[in-house]
Amino acid sequence: MARTFYTSKGTSVEVGRELGKGGEGSVFDVLNRGNQVAKLYHKAPAPKKQSKLSFMASNAGAQLLEYVAWPQETLHLSRGGPVVGFLMPKVSGKDPVHMVYSPAHRRQDYPRAAWDFLLYVARNIAASFETLHAHGHIVGDVNQNSFMVGRDSKVILIDSDSFQVNARGTIHYCEVGVSHFTPPELQSLSPFDGFTRTANHDNFGLALLIFHILFGGRHPYSGVPLRNGVGDALEADIKNFRYAYARDNQSRGFSPPPRSIPVSILPDTIESMFHLAFTERGTSGDRPTAQQWLSSLDNLRSRLTKCTTSGMHLYPNHLGSCPWCALEKQGVAYFIDLGTSFSQTASGFVLAQVWAVIQTVP
């Protein structure tokens, strides 16, 4: 593979070590540009993908770059030749969001992160959607690998070249999608090419990510099946609105998994937002927006209380007793108190206490 490429301005850049490989391309370090990486496609991009990347690179504003590894310059094998890749900001010291919401990984890698940290991550993810939507763009392929989370709770999206991009009225489509993040109304749609997605479609994926983060990685359409045909395939359960935590979940065919975080941990306003996002009404454009999630989650953050049993047990103050203690009585420990002496001796964990960055939206 060639190691020298040219930006659209004609500057030469040398690529170094491969940092990651995806379905469409690989990402490399760039020599002498420590804060940038190069994504190079496995196959020459079609002309319409080239125009999408050129538009993105010439519209890399500061607000987008706060949340997104957005293309900054296109890359070419020869000066003025076709686009073969692009430069974008390097994302380092961050993990995909599933490493944060999976209880096992969180306990291992973020042992001091309690539910308040998870709320920060959720609201910062909502802020990232809010910024993109305000610019007329849609994530499209929402999934657990594209949202990179730092120890300070800051969120950066990668894989931005797959977004649906609005180039001053010309839509560049998002041609991919992960089925377990796809809204019910799009479950039968494949391929996605030529289909214009809306913010309401994204708002399904946003609600799903927030649900995963707040409920220990659980999928809202997964639970204990109450009749035949339910729980056989996640795609069919999503398509048929089998939201396991719904108030009317018995008629939908699921009850929540045993010993899981109960939906009653949330105040009614937020529980209703999930209901709207995951049931029939949401398909007609009514799903809570990123802006609504942002303000509701910020409101919830200001209503947390701490249990006297453990400094790691933070929960909303509408509850009369600690839900984490209740789960521990059932044998499930979500947040383990490591004690203060641990943070004094293990310097790596002290870092984890500087989290909680509020990312601003335009």
Ligand X SMILES: Nc1ncnc2c1ncn2[C@@H]1O[C@H](COP(=O)(O)OP(=O)(O)O)[C@@H](O)[C@H]1O
Nearest to 336 by CA among 29, 108, 28: 108
- Kindly report each contact of residues 224-231 with a partner whose C-beta sits within 8 Å and lies 24 or more positions away, as own/partner: 224/254, 224/255, 224/256, 224/257, 224/258, 225/253, 225/254, 226/250, 226/253, 226/254, 226/255, 227/253, 229/253, 230/254
Indicate if 141 belongs to the active site.
Answer: yes
159 binds Mg ion (CB under 5 A): yes
88 binds ligand X (CB under 6 A): yes
Out of 1, 12, 23, 302, point to the residue binding ligand X (CB under 6 A). Answer: 23
Q: For residues 127-156, which are near Mg ion according to CB under 5 A?
A: none
Structure tokens at 77: 């094998």
Nearest approach, Cβ of residue 132 and Mg ion (Å)? 15
Looking at 88-96, 123-131, 223-231, 350-358, which segment touches ligand X (CB under 6 A)?
88-96
Determine which one of 116, 141, 237, 268 is catalytic.
Answer: 141
Tell me the residue nearest to ligand X as measured from the CB: 22
Using CA atoms, how far apart are residues 203 and 139, in angstroms rounded to an integer?
10
Please count the residues of the chain: 362
Out of 2, 4, 11, 20, point to the residue binding ligand X (CB under 6 A). Answer: 20
22 binds ligand X (CB under 6 A): yes
Nearest to 104 by CA among 294, 349, 334: 334
Out of 14, 16, 24, 135, point to the residue binding ligand X (CB under 6 A). Answer: 24
User: Other CB atoms closer than 10 Å to residue 12's CB: what's the count?
Assistant: 9
Amino acid, res. 190: S
DSSP 337: -
Residue closer to Mg ion, measured from CB, 175 or 337: 175
Q: Which does 88 bind (CB under 5 to 8 A by kind): Mg ion, ligand X, none?
A: ligand X
Looking at 53-61, 155-163, 219-227, 254-262, which segment touches ligand X (CB under 6 A)?
155-163
* Sites of contact with Mg ion (CB under 5 A): 24, 159, 162
